[in-house]
Homo-oligomer: A and B are copies of this chain.
Amino acid sequence: MSETLIKPDIATQTINQLRLLANQMITKAGSGHPGIALGAAPMLYELYANQLVVDPAQPNASNRDRFVLSAGHGSALLYATLHAAGFALSAADLAAFRQPHSKTPGHPEVGVTPGVDATTGPLGQGLGMAVGMAMAEAKLHAQFPTVIDHFTYALVGDGDLMEGISHEVATLAGQQGLAKLIVLYDDNQVSLDGQRARADTADNVARFASYGWDVRRITDGNDLAAIHDAIENAKLSPEPTLIAVRTTIGDSGPYAGTHQAHGTPLTPAQLQALVDDLAVAKQPEFSLDTVLMDQMQDHIAQRLAKQPTPSAADLQAYLAWTQAQSLQPPTLHDNASQQAARTIGKITLQAVAQTWPQLWGGAADLASSTQTTIADSPLFAPDNRTGRNIAFGVREFGMGAVMNGIALHGGTKVFGSTFLAFSDYMKAAIRLSALQQVPVIYVFTHDSVTVGEDGPTHQPVEQLMGLRLIPGVNVLRPGTAEEVAAAWHQALSSIDTPTVLILGRGSLGVQGTPAQAQQAMTAGAAQIVAAPDASINLIATGSEVQLALAVSQQLPQPSRVISMPNLQRFLSLDQSKKAAIIPKDSAKNVIIEAGTTLGWQAVAGDDGLIFGLDHFGISAAPQAVLADVGLVAEVLTEKIMQDLGS
């Protein structure tokens, strides 16, 4: 607090040059979002100049403060500010805003731009990721107080706060008492289509107060001192803090205060008028005045120099803990045979929780059904930050975004579970896991119409194939007990791919060896029952592998049984590797999966048979539902024989 800040007039000049720079980028690109760049520049300046403890030369340091621009359409302003602060973004990078494969894409992308902590743009999710980062910090800080001790900041707009996910993650943050989470709200009362009041009149400050947050209002978004003081106060607050900053969208520009400011690039003439209006000194193309930049970077360096560093021993302990891992899939005990997949999953989870100490996770209020509680560990809570079980609440989408934030933070591994049908609620977060290449683990149980009595609202049908469509996700539906263990191991070993682990209420068996299970993970499929002279290949996933085995025994012809826990992995193989699992002989391919059939043609081939269901299920006992949809061994056997006879 006693810190000396850059003089206000210099700060204002810097801010105005940031405004211009961001708009030069947008105008050159011919698209982008001037409104937030003009309105939110003072907040970005305050964060990078005076608050964020991040060394621009080490933008991935474990203990840096995190910043998530949840209003990701403010990317140009963020890039301009990162450039000014000394991150590795050159004027040429800024000039390449929104050009192919540049370091300055249309919305912030983690891994692409130094200093960008999260991929944002899909509204609301950035706030969720910030909450996840703050949770990870709280956990790690409790265990390694000298190594991890930092704040998490986010900037949100009206769009973020209208999204439902903002409710989910902000209530979670309130319940968790995430004191080191500080959210700036760009409260400009305008959204893309017009004044916010056309669609939304909620009092967001009162709302966040009802969530248990510390709340503050700033009436003038250009009042640097007020923004600074509010953040300094927020750092002392025992609750997460929302600072609502009343700004003018498109401040000082031609469309100030109107929704046209949101996405209309300025013309060159309008840009020049802005230079004049703001009385900005001439600045180099796609950069800032050197003196201003030097001053800002010196100021940042002075701040950073005062930061404590952990001892080598503490750092070593932290690294050892975060990197501990088992090289082998867990060994299943005898009691793993012939049980529901989710139960085998539970046994496996307990095993891997021992060998991966950094694993934590939870469920969207379904832990007792998804069986994903880590034994002998309490809930992660304000008064117990070592707990490995997270009560995510009935907040599927929020859970996904929070998991993404936890994974982006680093240092732990996280899983989250719900029923497969409700993966629909969090699809957008799963996509963002894939886009950000974070190795989060989704555990979706109750994976087919065998959900039974709860009926079609709770019975997934199309979700299984739908998840496989998302690029860069490992969708695993293990078909044997050993495959469950291998799938968990693969998920934990992943460093850049999210995993969706799909487990059912139906029974699995212990067919197949650990080696076969390992092959099924590597190749996407493995033969569970071999038959050199087979006339039929029965290909199934999950609990339908048991159904395939039953059909195999009923068929008079010899048949192979193939478990295919990872369809996409199998399809990515070259022809010879595929043929090693599904021989290119004259055998007919028969697919059995209790879900929509579109997509399976890629394995079945033109002459294959596909058994699934392309309609919703019914409310009845699981076996009655399977009978209703014809997924019983006798029916399938008869149909296959009819087809072969014809």
By a beta-carbon cutoff of 8 Å, the part of chain A in contact with chain B is 29-32, 72, 98-102, 105-107, 109, 119-124, 158-160, 162-168, 171-172, 174-175, 191-194, 197-204, 206-207, 209-212, 259, 363, 365-369, 379, 381, 391-395, 397-398, 421-422, 424-425, 427-428, 431-432, 434-435, 452-458, 461-462, 465-466, 468-472, 568, 571, 596, 598-599, 601-602, 605-606, 614-616, 618-621, 624-625, 628
When the two chains form the complex, which single residue of B164, B201, B379 contacts A198, counting CB atoms closer than 8 Å? B379
A605 surroundings in chain B (CB, below 8 A): 606
Q: Are A435 and B457 in contact (CB under 8 A)?
A: yes
Distance in angstroms between the alpha carbons of A493 and B465 in the assembled complex: 30
Q: Which of A120, A212, A435, A606 has the most CB of B within 10 A?
A: A606
Q: Are B454 and A121 in contact (CB under 8 A)?
A: yes
Question: Nearest residue in B to A463 (C-beta to C-beta)?
Answer: B469
Distance in angstroms between the alpha carbons of A615 and B168 in the assembled complex: 30
Distance in angstroms between the alpha carbons of A616 and B203 in the assembled complex: 37
A100 surroundings in chain B (CB, below 8 A): 618-620, 624-625, 628
Question: Nearest residue in B to A462 (C-beta to C-beta)?
Answer: B469
A192 surroundings in chain B (CB, below 8 A): 365-366, 368-369, 394
A207 surroundings in chain B (CB, below 8 A): 207, 210-211
Distance in angstroms between the alpha carbons of A102 and B618 in the assembled complex: 10
Interface pairs (13), CB distance under 8 Å: A98-B620, A101-B620, A158-B394, A162-B171, A163-B395, A166-B167, A191-B394, A193-B365, A199-B365, A204-B210, A206-B210, A435-B456, A568-B598
A165 surroundings in chain B (CB, below 8 A): 164
Distance in angstroms between the alpha carbons of A599 and B603 in the assembled complex: 11
A198 surroundings in chain B (CB, below 8 A): 379, 381, 391
Distance in angstroms between the alpha carbons of A259 and B367 in the assembled complex: 12
Distance in angstroms between the alpha carbons of A457 and B461 in the assembled complex: 26
Q: Are B199 and A203 in contact (CB under 8 A)?
A: no
Known: A166-B164, A193-B367. A471 touches B107 (CB 8 A): no
Distance in angstroms between the alpha carbons of A174 and B199 in the assembled complex: 10
A571 surroundings in chain B (CB, below 8 A): 598
A395 surroundings in chain B (CB, below 8 A): 162-164, 199
A427 surroundings in chain B (CB, below 8 A): 424-425, 427
Q: Are B628 and A469 in contact (CB under 8 A)?
A: no
Q: State how many angstroms separate the Cβ of A140 from the closest Cβ of chain B.
A: 21
Q: Are B212 and A202 in contact (CB under 8 A)?
A: yes
The 8 closest A-B pairs by CB, nearest first: A164-B164, A199-B393, A167-B167, A105-B619, A121-B457, A206-B210, A462-B469, A106-B455
When the two chains form the complex, which single residue of B101, B424, B568 contacts A431, counting CB atoms closer than 8 Å? B424
Q: Are B422 and A428 in contact (CB under 8 A)?
A: yes
Distance in angstroms between the alpha carbons of A120 and B458 in the assembled complex: 10
Q: Are B98 and A159 in contact (CB under 8 A)?
A: no
Q: Are A210 and B202 in contact (CB under 8 A)?
A: yes
